[in-house]
Structure 1
Amino acid sequence: MRKLHRSQRNKMLFGVCGGLAEHFNTDPSIVRIAFVLLCLLSFGLPLLIVYLAMAFILPQQ
């Protein structure tokens, strides 16, 4: 089983979206666009809190 981690290659801010994309074997741009759309539509603050928590909890690659 592969472990979830922050990406060093697909890093823009903290590497969380890049790590999620690598874990699920998808394009990092799709994960980033989905994250931004979810933040803008309805899940803004809670999703940002989860992102920041993952940035500090997940190990780097």
Structure 2
Amino acid sequence: MSTSTMNTDPQPTIPAGRPPLRRAYHGRMLAGVAAGIADYLGVDVTIVRVAFVVFTFLGGAGIPAYLACLLLIPEEGTDESIASSLLDSFQHGSR
């Protein structure tokens, strides 16, 4: 007979030492996406930027991925992404 345990903790835990994923103000060239991802992963920002360029030239996935990250990752200092603020404005505007 086996019993399973469920995690009843309502708040997700962030590993110690890893900051939340946010678009960064420091080290930003365009919108802070690469700098935010680099901070989150703990790697140099140049590696993330080169990865976006490589994905752009090898199939074109870099630009849509960057735009998706721009819309979905909140900016440093906020908890709301561009996409969620647009959805909120459409929902409140349609009533």
Q: Is TM (by shorter chain) over 0.5?
A: yes
Q: Which portions of structure 1, spanning 4 or more consecutive aligned residues, are displaced by more than 4 angstroms?
A: none
Pairwise CA RMSD: 1.3
Residues 8-47 of structure 1: pairs in structure 2 closer than 5 A: 8-42=25-59, 44=60, 46-47=61-62
Could you say which structure has the higher helix fraction? Answer: 1
The answer to whether residue 71 in structure 2 is matched with residue 56 in structure 1 is: yes
TM-score (norm 2): 0.56
Letter in 2 for 1:49: P
Q: Which has the higher contact order (CA 8 A, sep 6+)?
A: 1
Structure 1 stretches lacking a partner, 5+ long: none
How many residue pairs are counted as aligned between the two chains?
Answer: 59
Q: Following TM superposition, by how much is the alpha carbon of 1:47 offset from its aligned partner in structure 2, in angstroms?
A: 3.1
**TM-score of the pair, normalised by structure 1:** 0.82
Percent identity between matched residues is 36
